[in-house]
Amino acid sequence: MDGTVLDTESLTLVTGATQGIGAAIARRFARAGARLAINDRTTSPAMDTIVREVGGVAAPADVADRSRVAAMVHRLTEQSGPIGTLVCNAAYMSMSPFLEHPLDDWWKIVDTNLTGTFHLIQEVLPSMRALGVGRIVVVSSYWGVIGWPDATAYAASKAGLVALVKTLGRELAPEGIIVNGIAPGVTSTPQLEVDAAASGRSVAEIEELYARGIPAGRVAQPDEIAAGVAFLADRRMGAMVGTVLQVNGGEVRGRV
């Protein structure tokens, strides 16, 4: 236990939870006593490992596919009870100069990151409304706040999540369903392999390059992002609504 007061009775669904930030979130929530459903696009040894580690249930589904999300949520609620906490972390990223970005890849990024979050929240809301309370935490990115060269689709999709958090925060708070977001800065996860490949560097070299522009002098660790997500999901944090918490080592200090 780390002092965080999370929902330990209803189910917590964490998407994109088999590696990186998602896996760190699942572990953090498990330590606080949460009952977890672990999502990724498909079943895999990585999913089996994290499910066993946190004592959760597997919830495979491509969040970009509305029918699969609906089936996943229905199965979870039928077998494990209502979902009271949702962490929308599933994401896809590729990098390309703007004029060279293939249209189908643009839509894959937007459909996974932004539309997938829309699907998840719409499907989970009936559970939360039945409970009369809920917590939704959306994982955006500081690239959705400041933009980034060669990551137009990713940054645009993450900027859309910022607006979604602010809008749903206003809409759902009167029902006791609290929506907030987090915008991680550069974090040491497998996603950095995309950045490294695009720049022709190793992962270690791209981490060092990014660290030079961060006041803290280093990239973030997944556990630090997970701590921020747990803070936003804390049942005592009912007055924080529609906020996007920035965790980026001081690189971006503006208010979002």
CA distance 81 to 140: 28
Amino acid at the residue 243: T
Separation CA 241–CA 183 (nearest Å): 15
Torsions phi, psi for 212 (to 5 deg): -65, -30
Cα-Cα-Cα-Cα torsion 160, 165, 171, 175, nearest 10 degrees, comes to: 150
**Catalytic annotation present for 154:** yes
Alpha-carbon distance of 89 to 183, in angstroms, equals: 11
Q: Which of 92, 142, 154, 210 is catalytic?
A: 154
DSSP for 87-133, written as a single string = EE---------GGG--HHHHHHHHIIIIIHHHHHHHHHHHHHHHHT-
Size of the chain in residues: 256
Using alpha carbons, select from 184, 178, 156 the residue that is nearest to residue 165.
178
Euclidean distance between CA atoms 143 and 177, whole angstroms = 27
Q: Answer yes or no: are the C-beta atoms of 37 and 17 closer than 8 Å.
A: no
Interatomic CA distance for residues 98 and 53, integer angstroms: 41
Catalytic residues: 154
